[in-house]
Amino acid sequence: MRMRYTAINLLEEKLRQAGNSGEYTLQKISIPVPNENLKLEGYLCTPHNRSGYYYSLEHPKQRIVLHYTAGSLRSDLFTLSSHNRHVSVPFVIARDGTIYQLFSSKFWSGHLGKGLGNTNTNNAQDKCSIGIEISNYGFLSEKSGNLETYYSRLKNSNGVPGPVDVYCSLTEREAYEKLNTPFRQQIYYAAYTEAQYESLIILLRYLTARYNIPRQFLPEPIRYQATNEVLNFKGIVTHINYRVDGKWDIGPAFNWKKLIDGVQAAEFKPTIHRGTVTRGVENALGSEEELELLLPEAKDPALENEPYEEVQRTSGDGEELKDTKQKRGIKSKDKKQEKDLPGQVKKLSKRESSMPHLTKSEPPNDFRESLEGMPPPSINEIDGLESTGSAPGDLPSGETVINQKSPKPASPPSPAPANVTRKSREGQLEYDIPGQMLTGKRYTCRINIAGNEVDASNLKIGEKSVHSSILVSDEMSVRLIDSSGGDHFTIVPLSTERQSIDHGEMTKWMFNVTPKQNGNYPLVLKITIHIDGRNKDLDILEKEVLVTSGDTGSASVSTDDITRILFISANPLDTSPLRIGAETRQIKEEIGLAKNRDKFLFTINLAVTTRTLSRAILQEDPVIVHFSGHGEEEGLCLETESGTTKMVEGKALDILFKNFSAKIKCVILNACYSKAQADAIVKHIPFVIGMKKAVEDEAALAFSVGFYQALTDGEDIENAFNMGLAGMALTSPGQEDVAELLKKN
């Protein structure tokens, strides 16, 4: 049986490496702790197409409140950045210690619910405190030698128990804490990691120094109780200090001595390496004022005194944990009775609460989906996103929304502060930078930027131009840069670098680019936003350009000799996470080590949708197309624009690849049950590789490594396929029988 505890690292790795398949933009932060030789390091995490989860209004800060999320990082961030809900915290600490910041700590959002001092008070306690969420599953229940999460065996409205959700076995002592005396009737709790403790210490030292909050904690035993003393206490407290029952964060199953010693020490020196991502390191944000420029739009300040809705989650985080190993399919034996495919949305029934001291009319959670004792989201159960194309921020189906609309306070709400400025807004970028150029020939590269109010079709430059989302401000600068400093390209701007982005209008930039010498060289498209006299550079694109000579007598590799490999992947939010980041990294490493590396160009397109699939093939003109993701007998699992599953059947792939039969030589479908789709594609493509049944993630990765080791060493497709099988046999014996090479008749 697969344990949830062992899957957490894979979930966090995926989010770090690709922003959860593009759902988030991650920007490195490195902020000095005042008066210390210490830095707060992590990532600004901004969701695409979601905003309004915080208020950009400032109130004096008196205390810091610690929470745990009762879920995994993916669902934690999804919940805390829900559109227009203003239920969030500025900081989330992953199990590997990575700190994700959602908004500036001087702003605020709801995080205490209907706790002491926070009802009929215009959210007073939320405003004067700073919330920190630590990613952790909370209390666990012992069953047959295993520890199960709260979400295990939960009954639906018909009284039918849900699936078993095992966190760990009792033999995995590092995974949990066992109390001698039950805390709120619970003995077993998921353990926190050393990296989390260290990151929390650094974060608390930063916040206490910035806001002059005393580095003190409530004494035992009231540290583990709801107490009115919290309302006048200045220091560090937890959620249970505000809630009489229904909350378990954070009690005695926590190393308080380590935390208190670290926070109160005269000096603190980190010793643990925390998780990192590869993007944005060179442009680390050095202050919270700097990251404010990049935040999504805040919620309407006129609403800050309104009671907020409380959300009760009713589903798990979407991971299939029943199989022994992660597979590249979304099907399991226990799910065969479900007729709804992932792309077909269905409404979930509400589940009854089995938590102590609670009844059906008294939900255990005040407002969050995945926080403190309620399950993280099963995003395949998001209501309406795929079938109706509803706007971002729709609540996951089955959530119970409890309106906290208590009687109006006697005194009228205080007016919203004046001079609230809009920091930035969502917009769109269209660019056309050729991926292949000839030495000495001049090319015109074009960039168009506009707000989302402009129709995307008006930005289109050409058939191979690329469209993407971007933050925009009233004034922006665009530069196209030779990262070598001018050794490889001559670049001449044809437009003003800094221009205005008027509402409803499109702004254009153009550059003449002339390559100087043959080779593979990157061009960097750098965009700067200007707000309130401050500037921030955003690295939007680093485009590798193949430069060749038009001279037939040249000894350099000709364009005809280049094998273009297009790697496309999809890992929708409603499917289990795959190690796609590891797969692309290892393929790139094999190409880089190959003796024929100059003959291969490897392009990656993540989170592919039906729209971006055809565009990627048109733009990159590949010889090999490699799909990595989930599959079913009914089709391949691509993504909708909202990130959920869109099933693409073999008939559609038949029609698509018929248009590319003259160029594409090989298609690899590295997904479960993909042979049926391979059968459709092979009518037009010489070689197609598919999987006859479910394939383990490790085996799929091993196949890719073996295949490209051979291919880049000069072997043909058939021999490369055999090397891929060898890799599968060495890594996952028996899995080599899953892959099949089909040849066009």
Give a yes or no: residue 221 inside a domain: yes
Give a yes or no: residue 489 inside a domain: yes
Give a yes or no: residue 409 inside a domain: no
Tokens of 295: 């935040």
Tokens of 259: 């935390």
Q: Are 608 and 616 in contact (CB under 8 A)?
A: yes
Give a yes or no: residue 17 inside a domain: yes
pLDDT at residue 5 in the model: 84
Q: Does 274 lie in the same domain as 190? A: yes
pLDDT at residue 187 in the model: 95
Q: Does 589 lie in the same domain as 529? A: no
pLDDT at residue 60 in the model: 94
Total number of residues shown for the chain: 745
Q: Does 744 lie in the same domain as 661? A: yes
* Domain harbouring 506, CATH code: 2.60.40.10
Q: How many domains is the chain built from?
A: 3
Q: Does 211 lie in the same domain as 354? A: yes
* Domain harbouring 740, CATH code: 3.40.50.1460
* Domain harbouring 77, CATH code: 3.40.80.10
Give residue 740's region: left, alpha or beta (phi > 0; psi -120 to 50). beta
Q: Does 573 lie in the same domain as 521? A: no
Q: Does 637 lie in the same domain as 491? A: no
Q: Does 598 lie in the same domain as 495? A: no
Name residues of the chain where pLDDT drops below 70.
Answer: 1-3, 18-22, 273-283, 309-328, 330-423, 537-542, 550-560, 641-643
User: How far is Cα 640 from Cα 642, in angstroms, rounded to an integer?
Assistant: 5
Following DSSP, what letter does each residue of 127-177 receive, concatenated? HTEEEEEE----EEEEETTEEE-TTTT-B-TTS-B----EEEETT-GGGEE
pTM of the model: 0.52
User: How far is Cα 90 from Cα 370, in angstroms, rounded to an integer?
Assistant: 16
Q: Is 97 helix (H, G, I), strand (E, B) or coil?
A: coil
CA 528 to chain centre: 24
Q: Does 451 lie in the same domain as 376? A: no
Give a yes or no: residue 408 inside a domain: no
Q: Does 349 lie in the same domain as 491? A: no
Could you say which of 535, 553, 571 is where a domain stops?
553
Q: Evaluate the CA torsion angle 200, 202, 203, 209 in order and state its sign.
A: positive
pLDDT at residue 550 in the model: 65
Phi, psi of 450 (to 5 degrees): -160, 165
Q: Does 572 lie in the same domain as 476? A: no
**What amino acid occupies position 266?**
A
Question: CA geometry: angle at 552 spanning 546 and 554, to 5°?
Answer: 65
Q: Which residues pair with 108 in a beta bridge?
A: 55
Give a yes or no: residue 148 inside a domain: yes
pLDDT tens for residues 146-158? Answer: 999 988 888 877 8
Could you say which of 349, 372, 402 is where a domain stops?
402
Give a yes or no: residue 407 inside a domain: no
pLDDT tens for residues 601-659? Answer: 888 777 778 877 887 888 778 999 999 999 988 899 998 766 678 899 999 999 999 99
Give a yes or no: residue 541 inside a domain: yes
| Domain region containing 497 | 424-553
Contacts of 408 (CB under 8 A, 6+ apart): none
Q: Does 196 lie in the same domain as 122? A: yes
Q: Which residues pair with 500 in a beta bridge?
A: 475
Could you say which of 495, 519, 553 is where a domain stops?
553
Question: CA geometry: angle at 239 spanning 234 and 244, to 5°?
Answer: 110
Q: Does 360 lie in the same domain as 448? A: no
**What amino acid occupies position 526?**
K
